[in-house]
Structure 1
Amino acid sequence: MAALSALTTTVITCLILITPAPAAASGASCVPSERDALAAFRASLLDPAGRLATWSGHSCCRWRGVHCDGSTGHVVKLDLRNDHTVHSDTDWILFYEVRVDVDSSWVHSALALRNTGEMISSLAALHHLRYLDLSWNNFNDSSIPLFMAGLKNLRYLNLSGPSFSGRIPPQLGNLSNLQYLDLSSGPTISSDLSWLLGLSSLRHLDMSWVDLTAVRDWVHTVNTLSSLKVLRLRGCKLESAISTLSHFNLTRLEVLDLSVNKFNASIQQKWLWDHKGIRELYLTEGHWFGSIPDALGNMSALQVMDLGHNNLMGTIPTTLQHLCDLQVVSLYDNYIDGDATEFMERLPRCSWNKLREMDLHSTNLSGELPVWIGKLSSLDFVDLSHNTLTGELPVGFGALRNMIYLNLGWNNFTGQISEEHFSSLLNLKYLYLSGNSFKQMVFEEDWIPPFRLKVAHLRSCGLGPKFPSWLKWQTEIRVLDVSGTCISDSLPVWFKTVFSQAYSLNLSDNQLCGTLPRTLEDMLAMVMDLGSNNLTGQVPRFPVNITYFDLSNNSLSGPLPSDLGAPRLEELRLYSNYITGTIPAYFCQLRGLVSLYLSSNHLTGEFPQCSDNYKALPPDDLDPFFSPYFGDRMSTIDLSNNSFTGPFPQFLENTTYLRFLDLSHNNFSGKLPTWIAKRIPYLRFLRLRSNMFSGHIPEELTNSFGLHYLDLANNNISGIIPQSLAGMKAMRRTTPDGNRGDVYEGSISSFTKGQELHYTFSNYNLVVLLDLSGNSLTGQIPEEISLLLGLKSLNLSGNHLGGKIPNTIGDLKGLESLDLSRNRLSGEIPSSLSELTSLSWLNLSYNNLSGRIPSGHQLQTLNDQEYIYIGNPGLCGPPLRKNCAMRGRHDEVDDVSDDLAALYLGLQDVLLKLDELPHLKHVIIHDLYMLRMS
């Protein structure tokens, strides 16, 4: 989090002079020509927020945002700034805590002034205008109009925000009286800054986020603006030309912001550290490297020192003792290293009562915090998260009565937290303690906290076993995380009331019991996680604004409500419960749904087709969640382990962006559609095992270029394996696609290596699998299968495949698991099999293979060596006891009678049904093997 507020520096004293008294106070009237100019400008605008409702009548000096000279009546100030920007405390929580998918430009377009074309030039008639602010509006991506360069009396010009785009006109250099210029944050560009040379009176220049990539020698151009007090060039794509500057001419400069650029230079810049007048210095994310220079101590006026997110090493120099006005220290994301107490002792003691902000997160600080930390009495922002700090939390924190933001998360703190740690924290709003080893937070049952939190991250802090009663006083809470805090209690009766205004609630990984409130729809929550508890009862109606809802791994039962009441739902997790009944038709109205997890319940019936539902839902241009079809935004669908019936769901034709689909362990039937690859082109994971699908494998399916996991096992699929397998390009890559990691969040089970293995969302994308086992496939194994070089698991067992194993099978160098058992394969085992050096599981049992078993180091390390080849009477050689020299003896041909051979083949179908009972199957196979050996 950035500093809660930048220090206010009064750098333009003339602004007091250009804020005139209202004309009405002196009796001056509006100049008609200027009123007409304003009226024409108003007529060209759209005003959705009604901000210009007062712009009528003859006295334009009374119009909102218009100020006139008290003597002449001339318009001298026009302030139309859009204050509905995304900078409020509430917006910060939404964007950085709740991660709501809201585009700030949408907020502006809904509330900002807009025009339908290029800005009209009527404002050029305001010849006496000294102050013009059009910031944070939306002028239809217009370029900055040239007429502004003719407003020669302008002292103040603010065009910041997404108001304008395109190239900045160099004619702005004609505004020789300009003292304040803000062009920041717009999608603008400039290839030449020489026009700045005409602004000799300029004291404040902010061009942050203007693209200055093509500007040459920007350093020396800016260095000529000797009157500057504020210079902000944040995020301008500036590069290492900063190192060419030998003398700093900006002797009046008080604020310098060069953050978020790519200087790739040493922090040892002599021209900078010798400047004693700078009060605020922002060099964050500038690709600076080296150690912090001792000369930093020369900047005696310094109040803000922001050097965060660079490649700096080593602690701060002892010369900082001279910085008696220091108020903000920000060094996050550097390799400061060393002991925390030693670091804090180097902070200037003369500024202990002034230091307000200290951001040292991710700096590799270790050791314990000093017990005297309470002496830094003005601290209101502390971030020490993501370090290796140890020991108990000093009770001195309880004395920091100005504290607003305290983040100690993700360290190694131990011990208990008591009321004393919070005794005087009257202003505390943001508290982060997650990711430590606190044993318990010990508070009296009737303790009333002195603070009213907005954000509380208390994960793993040991709040239980009772639900913390002190939370009922946190009625202003917007984000609460008490996951994994050993609470084994029911939700209190005041839960819904106290947290009704919260945006995000995480109570997962506890032992919460009892039922949920009958309805949650009047809560404002956008994110709610109650997963992995012991909650019972039915699923209630959802909060109306919810986008993410997790009730997984509980004991919820009964049917889903017919109307969930959550039109903006994006992710729903209800897996691993006891939910019954069918999917309500209301699901078809969830047009914003991205991820749906319903696995491991008792759901039945067909999934709603949702084919005509979109026609009743007209689009809304202001609704970023709108999609014309159900499924149009979906990337993940997991319906596995239920009792769904019917054909392959038709609504999936609309899931263009689907990456993950799991319909396994249901009762779906019918043929696989031919449109999967065409209508779901980005599909990467498809699991349909243990259903009743029939028919052939569509050749069109093999055109799925991104598919790296295909599981069709245990269905009624017949026909041959398509030779077009080589079309599955993702299975041909020997290295995984790094863009797959965000597809699925959860865990999946995969039948490979002879057992059921579980993969988490972070590593499933490394599994390249093809499983066609347990079907009725015939024909031969196509040679083309050896082109799938990325395969790690190949299972074709339990079919009716004949012919030989392809000689090129050894090309699959990455193969870890190969199962060709229970087929009718014949011929010799290819010698190339011994070249599979990654192989850890092999099963060739119960075929008609013959000849000598190939030898190889990898093959000889596999477990259950004899079991690999059992049921192939014609095989000989190690690890079998059968000597290949005996194969020619007529009375011992295959060492088994024709009747017993027929018995082995007939048992294939039986063994197929035992696929889900591997231990019982192994016992039966072993007994049959012993029978044959006898």
Structure 2
Amino acid sequence: MAAKLGYLTRGAAAILCLLIFHVAQSDSHAQARGSGRTGTCISWERDALLSFKAGLLDPAGRLSSWRGKDCCQWKGVGCSNTTGHVIKLNLRNTDTPGYPMLNLGSMHDSHNSLSLSREVMGFSLAALQQLRYLDLSGNYFNGTSIPVSMGSLGNLRYLNLSSSGFSGIIPSQLGNLSNLKYLDVGGSFSGLYVMDLAWLPRLSLLSYLDLSNLLFISFQKNNMLLVPVGYLLHMVNMLASLKILRLVGCGLTNTMSATSKSNLTHLEVLDLSDNWFDTSLEHSWFWDHTGLKELYLSNSGWHGSIPQELGNMTSLQVIDFSLNNLVGLIPSNLQDLCSLEVLHFKMVNINASIGEFMDRLPRCSWNTIQVLSMDDTNVTGKLPISIGSMTSLSVLSVSRNMITGTVPLGVGSLVNLRVLDLSFNKLNGLLIKEHFSGLSNLEYLDLSYNSMKMVVEPNWVPPFRLIRLVLYSCRLGPHFPKWLRWQTNIDYLDLGNANLDDVIPAWFWVTFSRASYLDASGNKLRGSLPENLQHMSADSLYLESNKLTGQVPRLPINISNLDLSSNSFSGSLPSELNAVLLQLLSLANNQITGTIPSSMCQLTGLLLLDLSGNNLTGDVMQCWWESDNSSSMSSVNSADQFGSGMYSLALNNNDLSGEFPKFLQSASKLQFLDLSYNRLSGTLPKWLPEKMPDLQILRVRSNMFSGHIPKNLTYLKSLHYLDIAHNNISGAIPWSLSHLKAMRAISHNLAINVVEGDIAVVTKGQTRDYTFDIYRLMVNLDLSCNSLTGQIPEELSFLITLTNLNLSSNQLVGKIPNEIGDLEHLESLDLSYNKLSGEIPSSLSALTSLSRLNLSYNNLSGIIPSGPQLQALDNQVDIYIGNPGLCGYPLSKNCSTSTSGTELSVSHEDADYVVPLYVGMSIGFVVGLWTVFCTMLTRRAWVIAYFQLIDKFYDEVYVWVATSCACMTKKNHGNTA
């Protein structure tokens, strides 16, 4: 009994001690809370947050509320109502640029991003041991590593580090976060990589996992290797609670399809987009997951047909098969997929009628489908009338197909429709107000590149307020649509080639003052623009190819792309060009006069400048500051110099004077340069290859340049179009031109950044307009109408990709090189009006691409070569005229009776008879002349025939002299070339 009592006494004492310890511990915690907290914020956690803030750059002031003693009231900070500990830190940057399928507005910048000024993140956050929710997504932490100390935050349930500018290896210590349910370390342009995922299965409670855009590498060999995808899936397969798995852009391959059966029985969302499986879709592992609600497989190299297994996925709400090599219709067994909401089939080769495709969609889902995207799927036929019964449709996009017929009136009853894109089809017929009657939520409308005509009453008020409207090539005119006046929310407006023949109304500049993109090009719009457009917000304004008059207005301050070309603007350019953000400026083919204002030099961001086809005078703008002898020339090429970023410059067809523009020494990126048809003088500079190494097209024809052709032009490795015709260039043709790389080998990588449109090219003896796409493929060498001497270098035959070679109207001598037959791509060859001699090379007959040849007015002799290509050329006789020593077809001179090559010699023994011979010839000439003269006095017809012969000879001499003079001087600047 005593022993028993002692036992109970000891037990009671133990219980009492535990109670006392518990009360004491509670009291200590209470004292800690009482002494360490102000309001509801624990002091050391507040200090940790302030330390964290001190290490950040915050340009937008997002953390401006982080002051005072109560940190629980700070923006983004959440505290527990019971303990007062910081349990939530949400610093997500909601202005991070996104990439939605259809971007309805301009993208945000990253001004709101937080970034590191010093690395204190790990130390500060480690003090927040009760943290359950941490979101740093959408910021930019300067490529720093994810702090290892994050692995000590054992209470974390939610961790989002996506798109935050972290880089380096993902620490394996994240595997210590055993309470974690949500982990997102993915995001675009991530610099993060993984070497080992052994830590991942320890996160057994995970329901959300996003590893998108991570680089999976292994250092088992010297080079970094892709980790086997089977290993990746094996690790993920242990997360039995996983509901959402995103592995976008992880470099996954088809080995994933060959892995063992998946254990992810709770999986609802699977995103494998932007990988490269390069395998059939039919036998993939995920078809066993019939509970999937969202399946994203876009742009991952799947091919073959869409398998019948899709019909078993009865829970699917989202299907994204876009941007793959899939072929054919969807299966016919989808009748049980009644929950479908989003269907993306962009660039799937359906190759059937859209009506047949719609018939295979489950009828039970017609009221649930919200997004139907079928762009570029080769669907044909007419839009079915039944489309009007898909009442939940928010997005209908079927652009770039071959859909015909008219738009059904039922489209107008889709009250939830936000996006309607029918562009690039073969639709026709009328669009009336009933097509839009119920579209009160419409924000995006694109009907461009069809043959539809819109017919509505002048006073029609649309039910929608659009953000984006594209009606290019739709017939809206001739009057300017008044209903546009109500579209005050427009950000993007395209009315190009819309058959408008009217004056731009004054309200246009008010209604669309906040729009970022305005295009009304290719119409017949008349009148003048407002004198000042600085109130406009537009960054792109395209009004080219109209009939606009008046002066060029003061430009919108934020404008970056302006095209007013091919109008009738006159007067001088604005003296102040304050649009410092301009990248594209085209005022070509107008009637602008005066000089180029010096304020043009402030436009240092220009990528393309086209002032061609005007009446500009004076020196080319002097945007140049000479450095003194002690300064470095590096400042010349600095980024703030005018022309430093320019790709294309066209000043041709004006009346500009002065020397070759010196500011081009800053144009290290220039690819296209056209200074032709001006009055520029001086020599071609030797610094061209050094200062403009990427130059592809150089046109300086019809100026007054003199001197020799710079031999170092050969260092322009991309130059494939050189035109220096109609100048005063002298000296020999440098044989080193044969080293021009782009003329020696066919290159498919040449790309040139120029404005869309046509440019005039002199080739095949004619002036022709070519699009820039064709222009950049031409290989041209035109040195005609100069004062070049010497022989044609044989080495020019190395330029085997030449399509046009023109050396006419110079003073070249010697023979035509026989190697010229090696120029197998040559389409036009002009060697006329020189002093070439000898025979025509027979190798010319091997030029199967030749369509124009001119060898006239030289000293060529011998038999004209034969060949089917030469005999198929036009104007056969004109090719060889002016070469009296030539014979054979097509000339009338027969080679069998020709004395060509035969020399008449007088022997020594007959020398005594030479003088009497000449005396007798002279007497005979006089007697014969008087006989003919006296005869003509009595024969009127003979007199007329004689003087007609004299007139014909005079005409031929006159044409030759006039042509030669024209080649020695500049043509009138008003001609186009």
Pair in the same fold by TM > 0.5 = yes
For residue 657 of structure 2, give the secondary structure of its aligned residue in structure 1. Answer: strand
Q: Report what 1:202 is aligned to.
A: 206
1:760-809 alpha-carbon deviations (Å, 9 max, x no partner): 11111111010000011111111211111111111000001111111211
Give the alignment partner of residue 773 of structure 2, picking from 762, 768, 771. 762
Tell me which amino acid in the other structure corresponds to 2:132.
R
Q: CA deviation at 1:715?
A: 0.6
Indicate if the aligned counterparts of 2:258 and 2:285 stay in contact, CA closer than 8 A: no
- Asked if the contact 1:119/1:139 (under 8 Å) is kept, the reply is no
Alpha-carbon separation, structure 1, partners of 2:479 and 2:196: 65
* Pair 1:847 & 2:858 matched: yes
Residue 912 (1) aligns with residue 956 (2): no
Counterpart CA distance in 2 for 1:851 and 1:364 is 61
Q: 2:731 touches 2:788 (CA, 8 Å); kept in 1?
A: yes
Among candidates 559, 568, 571, match of residue 572 of structure 2:
559
Local SS of the residue matching 1:344: helix
How much does 1:511 deviate? 0.7
Partner of 2:679: 667
CA offsets 1:568-622 (integer angstroms, 9 cap, x no match): 010011111111111011100001100011111111111211113999xxxxxxx
Q: Is 1:184 aligned to residue 186 of structure 2? A: yes
Residues 224, 90 of structure 1: alpha-carbon distance in 2 compared, 3 angstrom cutoff:
closer
CA distance in 1, matches of 2:303, 2:901: 82
d(CA) in 2 for partners of 1:744 and 1:64? Answer: 48
**Is residue 124 from structure 1 mapped to residue 126 from structure 2 by the alignment?**
yes
Report if the CA contact (8 A) 1:117-1:140 is conserved. no
Match 1:591 to one of 565, 582, 604: 604
1:572 to 585, 608, 622: 585
Structure 1 Cα separation of the partners of residues 888 and 99 of structure 2: 78
Measure, in 2, the Cα distance between the counterparts of 1:855 and 1:95: 65
After TM superposition, give the deviation of residue 725 of structure 1 in Å.
Answer: 1.0
- 2:789 matched residue in structure 1: 778
CA contact (8 A) 1:325 1:354 kept: yes
Q: Which residue of 377, 398, 404 corresponds with 2:418?
A: 404
Is 1:866 aligned to 2:877, yes or no?
Answer: yes
Give 1:194 shift.
Answer: 2.5
1:291 aligns with 2:302: no
Contact 1:825/1:847, CA 8 A, preserved across alignment:
yes
Question: Displacement, 1:429?
Answer: 0.3
Which of these residues, 433, 438, 451, is aligned with residue 424 of structure 1? 438
Counterpart AA for 1:169 = P
Aligned partner of 1:254 in structure 2 is 268
Distance 2:689 2:718 in 1: 9
- For the residue of structure 1 that corresponds to 2:396, the secondary structure is strand
How far 1:558 sits from its partner (Å)? 0.7
Conserved? CA contact 2:804–2:827, under 8 Å? yes
Match of 1:20? none
1:831 is aligned, of 834, 842, 851, to 842
Summarize the alignment of residues 342-491 of structure 1 with structure 2, pairs less than 5 Å apart: 342-438=356-452, 440-491=453-504
The partner residue of 2:640 within 606, 628, 643 is 628
Distance change >3 Å, CA 237–CA 203, structure 1 → 2: same
Deviations 1:453-489, CA, capped at 9 Å, x for gaps:
0001111111101100000000000011111111100
Aligned residue in 2 for 1:930: none
Residues 1:113 and 2:123 are matched in the alignment: no
1:255–1:280 CA contact under 8 A, matched in 2: yes
Call closer, same or farther: CA 1:229–1:724 in 2, change over 3 Å: same
- Listed as ranges, the matches of 1:660-699 within 5 Å are 660-699=672-711
Closer, same or farther: CA 283–151 of 1 in aligned 2, 3 Å: same
Residues 22-79 of structure 1 deviation map (CA, whole Å, 9 limit, x = unaligned): x99x996322222222222122112111111222232222222221222222111111
Larger radius of gyration: 2
Counterpart residue number, 2:545: 532
Change over 3 Å in CA distance of 1:148–1:741 after alignment to 2:
same
What's 1:302 paired with? 316
Which residue identity lines up with residue 962 of structure 2 in the other structure?
Answer: V
Deviations 1:181-236, CA, capped at 9 Å, x for gaps: 01111221223322211111111001112223622221222122111011111111
CA distance in 1, matches of 2:663, 2:451: 48
Give the drift of 1:253: 0.8
Question: Deviations for 1:624-655, whole angstroms, at most 9, x for unmatched residues?
Answer: xx931000010001111111111111111111
| 1:513-539 Cα deviation digits (max 9, x unpaired) | 111111111111111111111111111
Q: How far did 1:703 drift?
A: 2.1
The answer to whether the 8 A contact 1:704-1:727 is kept is no
Among candidates 340, 345, 369, match of residue 331 of structure 1: 345
Contact 2:885 2:900 survives alignment (8 Å): no
Q: Cα RMSD between the aligned structures?
A: 2.6
Deviations, residues 391-422 of structure 1 (Å, cap 9, x unaligned): 11000011111110010111111110000001
Distance in 1, matches of 2:881 and 2:354, equals 65
SS in 1 for 2:426: coil
- Looking at structure 1, the residues matched to 513 and 842 of structure 2 have their Cα atoms a distance apart, in angstroms, of 68
Q: Which whole-Å CA distance do the structure 2 matches of 1:340 and 1:728 have between them? A: 52
CA contact (8 A) 2:728 2:968 kept: no
Q: Secondary structure at the match of 2:862?
A: strand
1:474-553 equivalences under 5 Å are 474-553=487-566
Give how far 1:656 is off: 0.4
CA distance in 2, matches of 1:90, 1:586: 41
Judged with a 3 Å threshold, the aligned counterparts in structure 2 of structure 1 residues 753 and 428 are, in CA distance, closer, same or farther, namely: same
Contact 1:162 1:187 in 2 (8 A): no
Judge conservation of contact 1:521–1:565 (CA < 8 Å) in 2: no
Letter in 2 for 1:554: N
In structure 2, the CA distance between the partners of 1:500 and 1:883, relative to structure 1 (3 Å rule), is same
Residue aligned with 1:710, SS: strand
- Paired position in structure 2 for 1:7: none
* TM-score, normalised by the number of residues in structure 1: 0.89
**Unpaired segments ≥5 residues, structure 1:** 1-22, 97-103, 616-625, 918-934
Is the contact made by 1:798 and 1:909 (CA closer than 8 Å) also made in structure 2?
no
Closer, same or farther in 2 for the Cα pair 1:712/1:156, shift >3 Å?
A: same
SS at match of 1:136: coil
Whether 2:622 is the aligned partner of 1:609: answer yes
Seen in structure 2, the aligned counterparts of structure 1 residues 561 and 324 have a Cα distance that, compared at 3 Å, is: same
SS of 1:321's equivalent? coil
In structure 1, what is the equivalent of residue 650 of structure 2? 638
Give 1:113 shift.
Answer: 3.4
Counterpart of 1:582 in structure 2: which amino acid?
T
**Partners in 2 of 1:90 and 1:111 — Cα distance?**
24
Unaligned runs of 5+ in 2: 1-32, 218-225, 629-637, 905-924, 926-949, 970-977
CA contact (8 A) 2:566 2:588 kept: yes
Using the TM superposition, give the Cα deviation of residue 372 of structure 1 relative to its aligned residue in structure 2, in angstroms: 1.9
Alpha-carbon distance, 1:910 to partner: 2.8
| 2-structure distance, mates of 1:88, 1:890 | 78
Which runs of structure 2 are paired with 1:646-795 in the superposition (5 Å)?
646-733=658-745, 735-743=746-754, 745-795=756-806
Shift of 1:435: 1.0
CA contact (8 A) 2:647 2:752 kept: no
Residue type at the aligned position of 2:480: F
Residue identity opposite 2:762 in structure 1: F
1:582 to 579, 595, 611: 595
CA distance in 1, matches of 2:199, 2:887: 89
Q: Distance in 1 between matches of 2:900 and 2:524?
A: 69
Q: Which residue of 1 aligns with 2:59?
A: 48
After the TM superposition, which residues 5-44 of structure 1 pair with which residues of structure 2 at under 5 Å, given as runs?
29-44=40-55
Note the C-alpha offset of 1:369: 1.5
Note closer, same or farther for the CA distance 1:237–1:90 as it changes in structure 2 (3 Å cut).
closer
Provide the C-alpha distance between the structure 2 equivalents of 1:30 and 1:118, rounded to a whole number of angstroms. Answer: 21
SS in 2 for 1:56: coil
2-side partners of 1:795 and 1:813: how far apart? 16
Q: Which residue of 1 is the match for residue 244 of structure 2?
A: 230
- Cα deviation, residue 119, structure 1: 3.8
Which secondary structure does the structure 2 equivalent of 1:318 belong to? coil
Mapped partners of 1:614, 1:350: distance in 2? 77
